Amino acid sequence: MATIQSETDCYDIIEVLGKGTFGEVAKGWRRSTGEMVAIKILKNDAYRNRIIKNELKLLRCMRGLDPDEAHVIRFLEFFHDALKFYLVFELLEQNLFEFQKENNFAPLPARHIRTVTLQVLRALARLKELAIIHADLKPENIMLVDQTRCPFRVKVIDFGSASIFSEVRYVKEPYIQSRFYRAPEILLGLPFCEKVDVWSLGCVMAELHLGWPLYPGNNEYDQVRYICETQGLPKPHLLHNARKTHNFFKRNPHPDATNPWQLKSSADYLAETKVIDFGSASIFSEVRYVKEPYIQSRFYRAPEILLGLPFCEKVDVWSLGCVMAELHLGWPLYPGNNEYDQVRYICETQGLPKPHLLHNARKTHNFFKRNPHPDATNPWQLKSSADYLAETKVRPLERRKYMLKSLDQIETVNGGVAASRLTFPDREALAEHADLKSMVELIKRMLTWESHERISPSAALRHPFVSMQQLRSTHETTRYYQLSLRSCRLSLQARKPPVGSKSDSNFSNLIRLSQASPEDDGPCRGSGWEEGERAGASAEPPAILQRDGDGPSIKDMTMDAGRAGSELFDPSSCPGEWLNEPDWTLEGVRGARAQGLPPRHSHPHKPPRATSFLQHVGGHH
């Protein structure tokens, strides 16, 4: 067990929790306090030095925040030695992606999605007060604090990609936001603000409901194409001003068309993607084996690269063959989610590699195992998907599970009302379905092409889905509403409420969100493209977020949540079976599995590769 020491403390490293592009995260024991902590460890070099300086600057800006009330991770200290940098944080349980994976990517009920969304919106609202853009919001960067004791209480982590709003308006770095959660203004090369985080949160909400990323593009063209399929084309003035318009769009040949631009077809995109990038090229005499972590884009990667064999210029011939097939098919020939998928797809069309290749390849055991039948023609056989998953914990996946034509179709995924009726009967089904519709409306307000039309965090906090205004007005007596209320209350309790405390039990009074002024982007306004048709961000933060003046602060709101906790949900007034409902705590899911029961909202059917959305919802082509 290694030990590291700062000027003020000493830490014993217990285990490595995970590794990433920039370093690793370890679990450690802090000797001065006896608490377990998370230690982010990065190599001490010039590139990571710049990343660390940026993250430290942002963490220092956030020192005035209460991490529990602002739902951001608690930063403890920073130190370094000659070889490595160390950032010490509080230890949290697991991120949302790990939670989804542990639960077989089963869709999350809307009431739990609201609980998560409310907390992340509060985090974004506090970051906006400090003019901070997170710029990498995704399930991996939203952590569950303690799922057993406080289900779905979350905190936002990882400020390595964050920036101060006044310091950045255009993308100057090669990377901002993970691709699946990348906002249109980043994709198109437009000025951006903190609303890129709202876009990312909308994508996360949809993913929690779908059990699958909403826009899982293999490249930026795919991202733009997927968004166009659900939101339509960007307005002409956006494309006129964007720096990267010609990467994805071309002029409409019809002069009388409503929009002078049209999206390039996949064939256009491939045909115009000329041989221009020689960043991965090499002199043949200088390289025979793969020495770098990356060579050739995965869809077009040659077998010798995949298997770890000597290679020559013919790897480019393989890639060209894949491109030719793609131009004819209108779809990549081998669109693997990982290298195992690539090998599996190739084996399905070309058969297994010959034995001598597998005998000499360095990576054979990544994909193949010995054939148990000694008289078999080939002594090797491809590992099954189950074998690969068991060995690597990486699930072979298709890129898109649902071919959505509009964001409204999110509502019909997984059975819509029918799925609700399986969860809550009769009027409970109506309450859950109404909640689902409200959630989809919020996602649509988050996922707009134009950032100024996108709902702001403070306005999203007043949206009926988050404030539960609509549920309270029409479904207040339902079990579904009470459970939703309870879930939100628990997530907002940063500390135990005082004994005998009194407060209004109305949820809108608890978080003070539903009384939007006419100027604010209140929930009742339209959702058109034009400013005025749809709700835009308010120019000033609402009263609840004011730092000066009479309006209550975020701290006031959280304290109200604690004071109101005992009256918001009274267990003694509920039937016993309500309190015993199997929930999405880790213990609950594990207990259900131990009894042979499927977890709530589990998928009995996994669709095949490249199946259309209409097939999943019972429609017809």
Residues making up the annotated binding site for ATP are 40
CA distance linking residue 444 with residue 206, whole number of Å? 10
| SS3 of residue 518 by DSSP | coil
Contact 402, 413 (CB under 8 A): yes
Angle between helices 110-129 and 195-210 (to 10 degrees): 170
Starting from the edge strand earliest in sequence, which strands make up the sheet with 94-95, in order?
94-95, 142-146, 150-156
Strand 84-90, strand 75-80: pairing: antiparallel
Rounded-to-integer distance, Cα 589 and Cα 582, Å: 8
Q: Which one-letter DSSP state was computed for residue 527? A: B
Q: Exposed, middle or buried: residue 452 (CB in 10 Å: 0-12, 13-18, 19+)? A: middle
Please say if 136 is a catalytic residue: yes
CA distance 304 to 412: 44
556: how many CB neighbours lie within 10 A of its CB? 13
Distance CA 148, CA 169 (A): 41
Compute the distance between CA of residue 219 and CA of residue 269 in angstroms, rounded to an integer: 11
**Which SS3 state, helix, strand or coil, does residue 106 take?**
coil
Residues with Cβ < 8 Å from 559, sequence gap 6 or more? none
Q: Is 210 helix (H, G, I), strand (E, B) or coil?
A: helix
Strands (DSSP E) found in 182-313: 249-251, 261-263
- 142 membership: H or E segment, kind and range: strand 142-146
Cross-strand partners of 382: 368
Q: Which of 80, 75, 89, 3 is nearest to 39 (CA)?
A: 89
Tokens of 251: 């002029």
Residue type at position 303: P
Q: Which residues contact 21 (CB under 8 A, 6 or more apart)?
A: none
* 3-state SS track over 161-202: CCEEHHHCCCCCCCCCCCHHHCCHHHHHCCCCCCHHHHHHHH
Task: Say how many residues make up the chain.
Answer: 621
Select which of 9, 136, 197, 520 is catalytic. Answer: 136
Distance CA 177, CA 73 (A): 19
Nearest to 410 by CA among 218, 605, 604, 214: 214
Alpha-carbon distance of 567 to 503, in angstroms, equals 7
Q: Compute the distance between CA of residue 594 and CA of residue 598 in angstroms, rounded to an integer.
A: 10
Which residues are documented as binding site?
A: 40
Q: Can you say whether the dihedral through the CA atoms of 75, 60, 497, 439 is positive or negative? A: negative
Extended strands (E) in 6-91 = 10-19, 23-30, 35-43, 75-80, 84-90
Residue in 217, 213, 218, 211 with CA at minimum distance from that of residue 203: 213
Active-site positions read 136
